[in-house]
């Protein structure tokens, strides 16, 4: 007879866990809808949406696609940088990381290009190098050369951290677009 209360407790616990999962799923669905609406209707809202996506803890595939479309429509290099990092770290996202990386390299500034070089697992080193050298920005060229001297393959910070070297990964956002 002592097994019966334990069995009931297990059933109750499973029901409670399932209810929590359903509640979380509904919350993510609602947040996804809200974020998708922002991305679809507010120009220059990619960073705001990415922040809210992070706070929510995830979103639907259509939400990521809506944010990517906002980034591309606005030609938003900062939004592209953050979304590209998300895509690199979560390979099953339905977004084109290459397109986002190219947008950062082509439209971004040297700080964004250097951040790509350091933070992507496999950055497009030659393309980044070409744009930074063409800018004639001595400081950026110096930073790039110093980084490539210790990491000639440009494998990014994740590789360096795994190999025992240290490098600080800092999110690249101005902070003024998050609200």
The predicted pLDDT at position 163 comes to 47
Q: Where are the domains of the chain?
A: 1-107, 109-171
- What was the pLDDT predicted at 158? 52
176: number of Cβ within 10 Å: 7
- pLDDT means per 10 residues in the chain (179 residues)? 73 91 93 96 97 91 96 97 87 89 96 92 90 96 93 65 45 45
Let me know: does 138 contact 111? Beta carbons within 8 Å. Answer: no
pTM assigned to the model: 0.77
Report pLDDT for 44. Answer: 97
- Residue 157: the pLDDT is 56
Backbone Cα Rg of the chain? 21
- Range 65-68 contact pairs with CB under 8 angstroms and sequence separation of 24 or more: 65/94, 65/95, 66/35, 66/36, 66/39, 66/40, 67/35, 67/39, 67/95, 68/95, 68/96, 68/100
Predicted confidence at residue 154, as pLDDT, reads 75
Q: Do residues 171 and 118 make contact, with C-beta atoms less than 8 angstroms apart?
A: no
């Amino acid at each position: 007879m002592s097994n019966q209360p334990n069995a009931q407790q297990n059933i109750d616990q499973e029901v409670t866990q399932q209810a929590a999962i359903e509640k979380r799923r509904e919350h993510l669905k609602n947040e996804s809808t809200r974020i998708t609406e922002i991305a679809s209707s507010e120009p220059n809202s990619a960073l705001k949406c990415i922040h809210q996506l992070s706070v929510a803890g995830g979103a639907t595939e259509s939400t990521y696609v809506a944010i990517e479309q906002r980034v591309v429509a606005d030609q938003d290099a900062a939004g592209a940088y953050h979304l590209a990092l998300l895509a690199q770290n979560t390979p099953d996202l339905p977004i084109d990381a290459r397109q986002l990386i190219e947008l950062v390299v082509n439209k971004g500034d040297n700080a964004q290009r250097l951040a790509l070089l350091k933070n992507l697992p496999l950055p497009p080193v030659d393309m980044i190098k070409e744009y930074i050298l063409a800018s004639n920005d001595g400081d950026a060229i110096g930073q790039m050369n110093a980084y490539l001297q210790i990491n000639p393959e440009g494998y990014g910070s994740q590789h360096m951290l795994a190999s025992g070297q240290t490098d600080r990964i800092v999110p690249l956002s101005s902070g003024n677009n998050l609200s």
